[in-house]
Structure formats: structure tokens, C-alpha cells
């Protein structure tokens, strides 16, 4: 989870980049402060008792369009966290060129401790408390940690109900555009978008470095929605996915010291059946005469692969293991998976790092398409969605790569600079 220290580090990076490239520091300082942070109390009846939950919504910047950002339900949500993530969203939307600003929300709750009825009431109460600061042209929440299409459907339904009550000229399809990542009125392809976008970025990196996919080995830490879809789409492009992992450990296949590609759909099918990757190395073709086995997440990070993809937790690459990282390319599909010190160490070592603000932006790109689809009262086909996502991600990568090459700097600095030049005028 992000904290004040994370925010301070991002703020420091932005100020240093602004000074280096002669951006007006007074405007940068103004940009760094969120436009508004809403704090609400959400009373929910639990076992004949009223329990008050804390909720937040940070609206960081709307220079380029309505505030946009996820909403998480987690016991460690803090005001500082949602501010930090809203700042990153402002940079991300500017970087990839969609007409959104940056926002983020959260409720301090362990959703597993609630019944489905209580969870629905919490979702609806959150909307009731902040309805006045939401809207298809004001602020647009989306799923994030521990929230999903069902929760967003409850929220959208409550928002539509309140909109009809307060505004006689209300239009349903525009009200539905106030939320993305929905089940109903959602976008076909939204669930795969973040992983798909990362795979597009991997393809562009290979192209720039003049490497053929079939010659590139990839290890993916995290086999949830993002990690699986990244691995699956990358495998379809011909990349050799030789290791994947979840919280319990990773799967590899090896013969004579050589890592062999995994059957990603088969591994995923096994995980769905078992609930974890533990034991999946003996599912079908994954465990055969060439030998399949489990490894720890620590070992996965240190495998001799070409590309390492942290797609789960923050801070997994840090001072304790940075010297053991052998990958020449790292694609940050998780948020902040590399600590600042380790980031500097690896860049100096010559590792190409695609930052999270670019690598995992396929999700917000798809959110933009869902929003646009709802505004137009249309239904987009998945093939068209993936084609437009490809175009958005490739353009963002090309722009960032061009800035990186021109200024002889890393992709993270180039990403921030590209975004800031659009935001600071």
C-alpha cells in the first residue's frame, strides 16, 4: 500500500524532473496538490449494531478531463494512499492520451468480514455520501483492490436512482458512464485490458531492442487477472513464458538447466480448479518427462530470464535482492514493485525498466472506451476494443521511447516528463 513516504518520493521525482527540463516550478507545485479530498463516514448495520466505516475520494487533477480512478475496499486504506494513487492516475491518463484526469477512492474495510448484503449496503452508502461530486463529466470511479464488477453495478444502480430523484432531465446511459468496470453496461474486453496492454508493451520493447519473441524468456510474478492475461497474450505473441507464480510460489519446467515454456491456459485451468498454483506443476503437460516443479517467489525473481514481470505486490524488488536480479528487462505490471533505491541500482546496471505508469495503463485506457461507449449509448465489440487498446498503448510507448532516447534517460523519467508537459501549461 502507498503511504506518505511513497508520495514524497514521487513528489521529489516530479520536482527534480521539472527543474531539469525547465518546467515552471510554481505550476508544478500547484499540480502536486490534489484539487479536493472528500472524507465520509459510512454507517452500516451489522448484527443489530451500527458500525461506522471511513471512506475517501481524492480528486487530484482535471486539466485534461473528468477525474478518473479506482475505488478500493481494504483495511489499510489511508488518506495519504488515495492522494498518492490519484496523483499517479493524473500522470497515467496524461501519458496515454485519454481525456481523463486523476482520482482515487477507498473505504477502510475488510470486505471478507461482510456478508453480501452488508457489502452491497456499504457500496450504495458510499455513493449516497459522494453522489454530489460524481458524474460522467466530473469524476468516474472504477474497480480496484477488492472491488469488482458486481460492486460497481451496485454503485452505478444507486447513482442512477439518485440522479433520477434529483434531476428530472437525467439520461440513464450518461449516468452509467459515471462508473467503469461494470458488469451491466460494461465493456467487452475490460477484464483483460490491463494484462493485454502490458503484452503490447512487451511486443514494442522486443521490437525496439530487435529481439524475436521466440528468443525471449519471461517470468511473471503474480498470476491473478493481470498476470494471467499478460502471460496468456504474451504467449500468444510467441514469447516464452517460462515461470509464473501466485502468493504460494511459482511453476517452472526445466531440462538440462534450460527453462522451457509453460502451457499458460493449462496452468490457469489448474489454478482455477485448485485455487492455487501449488501442485499444478503436475497438471497435464506441465509435469512430464522433462520435469516440472514449484519454486519460491524469491527464486522466481532471481531466475536467469530476459524479462521479469512483477504483477502482484509493491516493493518485491528491493535492497535485499536487487543484486541477484538477472533479467535485462523489467515490466512493472504491479504498482511500485521496485523500491526507489533498487530502481536506481538496476537502471545504473543497464536494466531497461518499463514503469507501472505506462506498463499497466491498459486498464484505464479500456475504462475510457467504456465511458465513451456509454456516452454514445453504444456497444463495442471486443475485437474493436482490443484494436483500439493496441493503438493507444503503442502510441504511448512510442512517445515515451522517443523522449527517453532524445534525452538519454530511463523510461520512468521519460514517462513523467511526457505527462507533465501535457499537464503543466
Predicted local confidence at residue 173, as pLDDT: 83
- Section 369-393 average pLDDT: 97
Cα-flanking dihedrals φ and ψ of residue 233, to 5°? -70, -35
How far apart (Å, rounded) are the C-alpha atoms in residues 274 and 252?
Answer: 17
Higher pLDDT, 2 or 385: 385
User: pLDDT confidence of 289, banded at 50, 70, 90?
Assistant: very low
Work out the pLDDT band at 2, boundaries 50, 70, 90. low
Give me the mean pLDDT over the 232-239 stretch: 97
Render pLDDT for 143-172 as a digit per residue (tens, 0 to 9): 988 999 999 999 999 999 999 888 777 678
Residue 411 — pLDDT band, cuts 50, 70, 90? very high
User: What pLDDT does residue 101 have?
Assistant: 98
Q: Is 195 exposed, middle or buried (0-12, 13-18, 19+ CB in 10 A)?
A: buried
Would you say residue 324 has pLDDT above 80?
A: yes
Q: What average pLDDT does range 311-337 have in this prediction?
A: 94
Provide CB contacts within 8 A for 325, sequence distance 6+: 301, 302, 308, 317, 346, 351
Tell me, yes or no, if the two domains 31-186 and 193-354 fold the same way: yes
Give pTM, 2 decimals. Answer: 0.92
At residue 293 the predicted structure's pLDDT band, cuts being 50, 70 and 90, is confident
Percent above pLDDT 70 for the chain? 96
How do the domains of the chain map onto residue ranges?
A: 31-186, 193-354
What confidence score (pLDDT) does residue 256 get? 76
Q: How does pLDDT run across 245-271, given as a tens digit for each residue? A: 998 888 888 877 788 899 899 889 888
Looking at residue 335, what is its pLDDT?
Answer: 86
**Of 318, 281, 325, the residue nearest 303 (C-alpha):** 325
Query: What are the pLDDT digits (tens) for 83-118?
Result: 999 999 999 999 999 999 999 999 999 999 999 999
Q: Which residues are catalytic?
A: 104
Q: Which of 2-6, 40-44, 237-241, 289-293 has the lowest mean pLDDT?
A: 289-293
CATH node for 193-354: 3.40.50.720
231, pLDDT greater than 80: yes
Mean pLDDT along residues 56-84: 95
Q: In terms of pLDDT, which residue wins out, 215 or 5?
A: 215
pLDDT(276) > 90: no
pLDDT surpasses 60 at 302: yes
The residue-averaged pLDDT of 388-405 equals 98
Q: Does domain 31-186 match CATH 3.40.50.10860?
A: yes
383 has a pLDDT exceeding 60: yes
CA–CA separation, 375 vs 176, rounded Å? 8
Amino acid at each position: 500500500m502507498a503511504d506518505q513516504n511513497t508520495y514524497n518520493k514521487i513528489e521529489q521525482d516530479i520536482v527534480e524532473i521539472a527543474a531539469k527540463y525547465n518546467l515552471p516550478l510554481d505550476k508544478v507545485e500547484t499540480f502536486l496538490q490534489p484539487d479536493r479530498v472528500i472524507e465520509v463516514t459510512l454507517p452500516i448495520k451489522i448484527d443489530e449494531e451500527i458500525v461506522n466505516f471511513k471512506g475517501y475520494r481524492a480528486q487530484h487533477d482535471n486539466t485534461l478531463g473528468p477525474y478518473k480512478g479506482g475505488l478500493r475496499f481494504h483495511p489499510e486504506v489511508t488518506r495519504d494512499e488515495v492522494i498518492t494513487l490519484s496523483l499517479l492516475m493524473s500522470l497515467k491518463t496524461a501519458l496515454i492520451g485519454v481525456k481523463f484526469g486523476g482520482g482515487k477512492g477507498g473505504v477502510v474495510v475488510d470486505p471478507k468480514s461482510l456478508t453480501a448484503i452488508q457489502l452491497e449496503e456499504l457500496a450504495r452508502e458510499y455513493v449516497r455520501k459522494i453522489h454530489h461530486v460524481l458524474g460522467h463529466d466530473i469524476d468516474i470511479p472504477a474497480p480496484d483492490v477488492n472491488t469488482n464488477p458486481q460492486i460497481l453495478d451496485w454503485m452505478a444502480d444507486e447513482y442512477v436512482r439518485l440522479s433520477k430523484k434529483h434531476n428530472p432531465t437525467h439520461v440513464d446511459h450518461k449516468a452509467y458512464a459515471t462508473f467503469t468496470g461494470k458488469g451491466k453496461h460494461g465493456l467487452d474486453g475490460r477484464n483483460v485490458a490491463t494484462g493485454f496492454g502490458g503484452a503490447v508493451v512487451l511486443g514494442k520493447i522486443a521490437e525496439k531492442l530487435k529481439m524475436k519473441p521466440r528468443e525471449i524468456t519471461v517470468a511473471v510474478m503474480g498470476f491473478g487477472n493481470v498476470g494471467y492475461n499478460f502471460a496468456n497474450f504474451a504467449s500468444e505473441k510467441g514469447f516464452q513464458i517460462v515461470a509464473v507464480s501466485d502468493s504460494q510460489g511459482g511453476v517452472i519446467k526445466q531440462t538440462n538447466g534450460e527453462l522451457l515454456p509453460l502451457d499458460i491456459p493449462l496452468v490457469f485451468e489448474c489454478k482455477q480448479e485448485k485455487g492455487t498454483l501449488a501442485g499444478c506443476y503436475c497438471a497435464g503437460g506441465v509435469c512430464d518427462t522433462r520435469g516440472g516443479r514449484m519454486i519460491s517467489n524469491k527464486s522466481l525473481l532471481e531466475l536467469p530470464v530476459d524479462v521479469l514481470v512483477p504483477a502482484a505486490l509493491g516493493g518485491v524488488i528491493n535492497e535485499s535482492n536487487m543484486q541477484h536480479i538477472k533479467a535485462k528487462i523489467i515490466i512493472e505490471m504491479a504498482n511500485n514493485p521496485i523500491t526507489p533505491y533498487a530502481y536506481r541500482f538496476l537502471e545504473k546496471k543497464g536494466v531497461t525498466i518499463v514503469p507501472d505508469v505506462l506498463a499497466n495503463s491498459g486498464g484505464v485506457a479500456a475504462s475510457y472506451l467504456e465511458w465513451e461507449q456509454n456516452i454514445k449509448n453504444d456497444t463495442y465489440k471486443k475485437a474493436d476494443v482490443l484494436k483500439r487498446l493496441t493503438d493507444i498503448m503503442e502510441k504511448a510507448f512510442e512517445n515515451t521511447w522517443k523522449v527517453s532516447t532524445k534525452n538519454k534517460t530511463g523510461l520512468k523519467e521519460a514517462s513523467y516528463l511526457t505527462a507533465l508537459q501535457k499537464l503543466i501549461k
